[in-house]
Amino acid sequence: MTEQWAQQLDLLIRAGTPLIWIRSHEEERVESLLSQAAERLPGRRLASWDFVSGLSGVLGSEGLGARQPMLVLQWLQDLDGNSPTLLLLKDVHRFCDDPGIARMLRNLTSLLRGRPHTLVLGCGSWTPPPDLEEALTLLDLPLPQEQELMTLLGNISKATGSPLNSEVLEELTHACCGLSESRVRHVAAKALAQRGELGRQDLADVLEEKRLALARSEVLEFCRTDATPADIGGLEALKQWLEQRHRAFSDEARRFGLPLPRGVLLVGPQGTGKSLTARVIAHSWSMPLLRLDVGRLFAGLVGASEARTREMIQRAEAMAPCVLWIDEIDKGFGSDGRSDGGTSQRVLATVLTWMAEKTSPVFVVATANGVERLPAELLRKGRFDEIFLLDMPARSERQSIMELHISRRRPGLLLPVETVVDRTDGYSGAELEQTVIEAMHLAFAEGRELAESDLIQAAAQLVPLSRTAKEQLEGLKQWASSGRARPASLRLVTNPDRG
């Protein structure tokens, strides 16, 4: 927990804020932080209540209100001012749809302004009833910061009798960023059960725990990738730009005065390498790749989308430095907001505000197949560092793509590809890959080695997207040529002839 968050909590308590909602799923951590706050503020005590155990932390009233939330609220209502109390309610949000509970909470909001008590609701995802929302003061509890994690890991290692050296402690701390305190303790417990100490060997377990943590988040996926720039045929202008941005993440760049890179929007037809580029960026920059499933943001109950968006941003920032991949952003934020009650517009506004104001090293890679559905505010300068158009590959790029897929699948086989390259003008990278695969099927069915004639036959059978969606692709190129996007290939700059 940062010192700033603790100061904010103390200020709210000292100011007599009657009803505080600490938004977090980490119950134990919330209770621990409130206990520390009670120690910092003389004369206050901490009490807690949950539905099963009832009230705890108050002599003579242990177990009060078990399975009866109204009783504990009445207890606080009748409590005099001689014992200033922080009361943590762990489960009461589940009962706030009950008119009696909601009314009692609103009554306490008025009553506690004249008494030295504070009512704290501890829960994660929750949409408060509208009549109660105004009475709540929201305080988001971020995931543990580096200093907290370093202290936690250091204390655990010391308790084992094998303290970590500073280098290993720093590596483990960086690796654990993005995990809750309970998940870090879980990883440490596994390590102690296996070897009796913490060490570098636990880095793999930390990464696996991150993958599982993201799986539980519903909207973010931890993607493993081994793609390299060599896997991309062409797109040299984009590759050069990305190399410049990679260097901008260094401490030297900060000293030079450069801001952290924000991200890039990749626009182009299907199969031109947008998703592959996102994977290459993460692997070549040695950063975790987090894929955002935009569709899941808008699934579920009213208000859940906004909560998932906040959770996504929190987890991405906690795992920084990382690459956040928003795939097919045009499908997620391309509606006008009238069909979903404005949910998509509110979520988009939250994401755009975060992108413009974020100070964490989260590099956003957004991909889109078209721009006609993208809102204008997303394309405005300052949201992304740059917008690139990934067009159909030129002749030289088609040749390198074809040779790349042949060498991968039939190592050592040298085939002339000039003829098939000449006959695949307008084919995307994915279509060229499919051409090679189809040619291999033809050869394999006849029990012989892949030949040039197989490639030519396979190419002739495929109808490329550039023919079936010609008008759409021409419109995309006209949009980009007006200065709204940079070409990802050098040949579009230096050699207009597609050849």
Domain ranges of the chain: 3-140, 146-216, 229-389, 395-468
Q: What pLDDT, in 10s, does the model give residues 282-322?
A: 988 888 899 987 877 776 555 678 888 888 888 888 788 88
Q: CA-CA distances (angstroms) from residue 79 to 19, 40, 82? A: 16, 22, 8
The span from the CA of 429 to the CA of 319, in Å, is: 32
Question: What average pLDDT score do residues 148-161 get?
Answer: 89
Q: Walk across the sheet containing 486-487 and list its strands.
A: 220-223, 289-292, 322-326, 362-368, 263-267, 386-389, 486-487
pLDDT given for residue 228 in this prediction? 84
pLDDT given for residue 337 in this prediction? 54
The span from the CA of 491 to the CA of 499, in Å, is: 10
Please choose, from the candidates 209, 375, 221, 219, the residue with its C-alpha nearest in 3D space to the C-alpha of residue 307: 219
In three-state secondary structure terms, 371 is coil
Residue 44 clears pLDDT 90, i.e. is over it:
yes
- Give 17-71 as a DSSP string: -SEEEEE-S-HHHHHHHHHHHHHHSTT-EEEEEETTTEEESSTT-TTTTTT-HHH
pLDDT given for residue 386 in this prediction? 92
Answer whether 326's CB lies under 8 Å from 320's CB. Answer: no
- Check if 3-140 and 229-389 are the same fold: yes
Residue 465 clears pLDDT 90, i.e. is over it:
no
For tokens 């009512």, name the residue: 119
Size of the chain in residues:
499
Per cent of the chain over pLDDT 90 is 44
> Which one of 86-100, 341-355, 378-392, 468-482 scores highest in mean pLDDT?
86-100
pLDDT given for residue 304 in this prediction? 74
Band (pLDDT 50/70/90 cuts) for residue 493 is very low
Question: Six-digit token pair at 12?
Answer: 């709210």
Please choose, from the candidates 202, 207, 138, the residue with its C-alpha nearest in 3D space to the C-alpha of residue 178: 207
The span from the CA of 163 to the CA of 144, in Å, is: 21
Question: What average pLDDT score do residues 218-229 get?
Answer: 83
Band (pLDDT 50/70/90 cuts) for residue 143 is confident
Band (pLDDT 50/70/90 cuts) for residue 202 is confident
Question: What average pLDDT score do residues 124-130 get?
Answer: 87
For tokens 């036959």, name the residue: 457
Residue 332 clears pLDDT 90, i.e. is over it:
no
Question: What average pLDDT score do residues 415-426 get?
Answer: 92
The residues near 113 (Cβ < 8 Å, ≥ 6 apart) are: 16, 18
For Cα atoms 313, 292, 179, give the angle at the middle one, nearest 5 degrees: 50
Q: What pLDDT, in 10s, does the model give residues 344-386?
A: 788 888 888 898 888 888 999 999 887 877 888 888 877 899 9
CATH domain 3-140 topology: Rossmann fold (3.40.50)
CATH domain 395-468 topology: Helicase, Ruva Protein; domain 3 (1.10.8)
CATH domain 229-389 topology: Rossmann fold (3.40.50)
The residues near 441 (Cβ < 8 Å, ≥ 6 apart) are: none
Q: What pLDDT, in 10s, does the model give residues 79-88?
A: 998 999 999 9
In three-state secondary structure terms, 13 is helix
Q: What pLDDT, in 10s, does the model give residues 64-74?
A: 999 999 999 99
In our burial notation (b when 16+ CB lie closer than 10 A, e otherwise), range 81-119 reads eeebbbbbbbbbbebbeeeebbebbbebbeebeebbbbb
Question: What average pLDDT score do residues 435-448 get?
Answer: 95
pLDDT given for residue 318 in this prediction? 77
Band (pLDDT 50/70/90 cuts) for residue 220 is confident
Band (pLDDT 50/70/90 cuts) for residue 12 is very high
Question: What average pLDDT score do residues 458-483 get?
Answer: 85
pLDDT given for residue 16 in this prediction? 94
Question: What average pLDDT score do residues 207-218 get?
Answer: 74
Query: Beta strands of 90-200 (E only): which ranges?
Result: 118-123, 137-140
Question: Which sign does the torsion angle of CA 7, 10, 14, 16 carry?
Answer: positive
Residue 499 clears pLDDT 50, i.e. is over it:
no
pLDDT given for residue 290 in this prediction? 92
State yes or no: cis peptide before 411, omega within 30 of 0.
no
Residue 341 clears pLDDT 80, i.e. is over it:
no
Question: What average pLDDT score do residues 271-275 get?
Answer: 88
- Overall CATH class of domain 146-216: mainly alpha
Residue 495 clears pLDDT 50, i.e. is over it:
no
Answer whether 84's CB lies under 8 Å from 44's CB. Answer: yes
Which residues face 45 on adjacent strands?
85
Question: Six-digit token pair at 173?
Answer: 């701390």
Pairing of strands 19-23, 118-123: parallel
pLDDT given for residue 303 in this prediction? 62
The residues near 270 (Cβ < 8 Å, ≥ 6 apart) are: 369, 428, 430, 465
Query: How far from the centroid of its chain's Cα atoms is residue 332's Cα?
Result: 15
Band (pLDDT 50/70/90 cuts) for residue 278 is very high
Residue 165 clears pLDDT 80, i.e. is over it:
yes
